[in-house]
Amino acid sequence: MGGKDGRHRGPGLRSRGRRLGRPPVAETRWRTRPRPASARARTTGARPGSGRTARAPRARYATRGRRSPTGRPSRPSWYATPSRRSIGPPDAGSSTPTPPHGASRGSPSSSGSPPPTNRRPRHERRGRSPPPRGRRRRPGGATRHVRQERAILRRGARGGSRVRATIFHRPGQVSVEERATRQPAPGELRLRIAAAALCASDVRVYRGEKYALPGVVPGHELAGVVDAVGEGVDDYAAGDRVVICPIIACGRCRFCARGRRNRCASRRTLGYDLDGGFAEQMTVPRELLELGHVLRVPPSLPLEVAAIAEPVACTLNSLDLLGVRPGSSLAILGAGPMGLLHLLIGRASGAAPIVVSEPVAERREIARRWGADIVVDPESEDLEASVRAQTDGYGADAVAVSVGVARLATQALQIASRQGVVNLFAGFPPGATIPLDLNALHYAEIVLSGSQNATTEQYRRAVALLSALPQVSELITHRYGIEQAPEAYASRLQLSGLKSLVEFPGVDGR
């Protein structure tokens, strides 16, 4: 019978004897010379009266092609010499008793023979602390997938180049450091990043309101040029201009089966769980290619604008949930980058009238220029009265809350029409709550929902739509090089401008 190490095990110790429930027979006919004491298997005792027999423990350096400390090929424990194989009860005429239960390894046997000489454990020989027992996750450590990816990165970086990348360390701390690059593994490709935009979710991570893995490269809104492809990648070639849907889904759960990969139970996202686009280069994982989440960009669309594909796809998901169609009245609370995208795409979808509420004068002016029918300053005007005046007293058919301020959710319910839909598009601080009149929802049949990210199909629609929305480029008000990337966080925290972009000149070739 063959063992796991590929050697013939014979009919004895590990096979026939144990399977039949009786003490295995010591087989010694294959043994030709004694093993040195330093590599010899030691015996362990059995509890007296337990009915169990003593067994020979597996050799320390057995199997898997490793060699013993003496330099000779290792052998499994069943290949021990007869003098050391204390298996089964001793013969009646034998003067050598079974070692007592609890005898420590390396302690003298009851026969008085000296203990075998053993090398110290590896961690002691190397001056290290002993390894932890069990499968413990290090406090604050990376997930298994991230540890594997970083190990691949370290192995592939030997002799490779170095790139500059923005690293998220903890809330309130990001820095620009060097990272090693590697050649893409089979099924992967590598991008030279042309542009990556800072999202409001990135700002929430910076504030500590949302989790991201310490040490990760942020940036899930990105566009770039294929730099190298791994073995087996036939659909892409160096020089292709692409954008990324940053979601890695399992492809098997019921949400994935329905095409809602953004709701996958085991979802991972670039910029939070895996390295994103705030770096000169990025390796695209094999799973993203298999899911079809690498999308080509039309030649006429600049990559700095294509980087906005992710927020455009999220806005399409929101408007689809709200049921916006030609003639629908739409109210938008907040005229930041996402609120303005709701305005722009809602107007292109035929929504009318559109009411925008925004306290910042600069943003109110942009909303008027982009086609809002009514723009309200909520600090000095009555929002509910303005909405009902524009909708013949009914209220808005659809209400999008694009700012993560809890009190705005209460306002949204007040201005919604009967059978209207309210979507909490923005994320809120942890533990945010509002007082809710349940009868107001019940008798008015108001639908209250939320939306987060988008489907693959909505990403494809977003890439196609960007070419027809030239105003989108006006969202980009701040541009930074990679060395100034931490300043992009500061500008968003101060509500300065609209969209901040980290760009890498020359990559797009324009």
484 in the same domain as 449: no
Whether the predicted pLDDT of 45 surpasses 70: no
Residue for token digits 């809350």?
Answer: 401
Round to whole Å and give the CA distance between 427 and 385.
Answer: 27
pLDDT reported for residue 510 = 63
Residue 330's SS3 state is: strand
Q: Is residue 25 part of a domain?
A: no
Instruction: Note whether 384 and 407 are within 8 A (CB).
Output: no
Q: What percent of the chain has pLDDT over 90?
A: 65
Round to whole Å and give the CA distance between 120 and 136.
Answer: 24
Task: Report the CATH number at residue 402.
Answer: 3.40.50.720
Q: Is residue 212 part of a domain?
A: yes
Round to whole Å and give the CA distance between 315 and 324.
Answer: 11
User: How far, CA to CA in Å, does 292 sit from each of 5, 79, 244, 255?
Assistant: 41, 53, 9, 16
372 in the same domain as 425: yes
Q: Is residue 355 part of a domain?
A: yes
Q: Is residue 50 part of a domain?
A: no
401 in the same domain as 363: yes
Token readout for 371 is 């086609």
Q: Which residues of 484-508 are buried (b: 16+ CB within 10 A; e: fewer)?
A: ebeebbebbeeeeebbbbbbbeebb
Q: Is residue 381 part of a domain?
A: yes
What is this structure's pTM?
A: 0.70
Mean pLDDT of 133-153: 55
Q: Is residue 54 part of a domain?
A: no
Q: Please write the tens of the pLDDT for every residue from 186-226.
A: 999 999 999 999 999 999 999 999 999 999 999 999 999 99
474: nearest Cα among 344, 313, 296: 344
450 in the same domain as 318: yes
Q: Is residue 443 part of a domain?
A: yes
Task: Report the CATH number at residue 224.
Answer: 3.90.180.10
326 in the same domain as 218: no
447 in the same domain as 323: yes
446 in the same domain as 396: yes
Q: Please write the tens of the pLDDT for every residue from 122-136.
A: 767 777 777 666 544
Q: Is residue 38 part of a domain?
A: no
DSSP per residue, 33-81 = SPPPGGGPPPPB---TTSSPPPBPPPPTT-STT-B-TTSSBP--GGG--
How many CB atoms sit inside 10 A of residue 358's CB? 26
Mean pLDDT of 87-97: 44
372 in the same domain as 267: no
Residue 63: band (very low, low, confident or very high) from pLDDT cuts 50, 70, 90 = very low
290 in the same domain as 170: yes
Instruction: Note whether 164 and 173 are within 8 A (CB).
Output: no
299 in the same domain as 189: yes
User: How far, CA to CA in Å, does 120 sit from each of 74, 105, 130?
Assistant: 17, 13, 12
Domain count along the chain? 2
Query: Containing domain of residue 335, as a range?
Result: 314-454
Q: What is the CA angle 490-141-148, rounded to 5?
A: 105
288 in the same domain as 318: no
DSSP state of 279: B
Whether the predicted pLDDT of 160 surpasses 70: no
Round to whole Å and give the CA distance between 110 and 43.
Answer: 11
291 in the same domain as 335: no
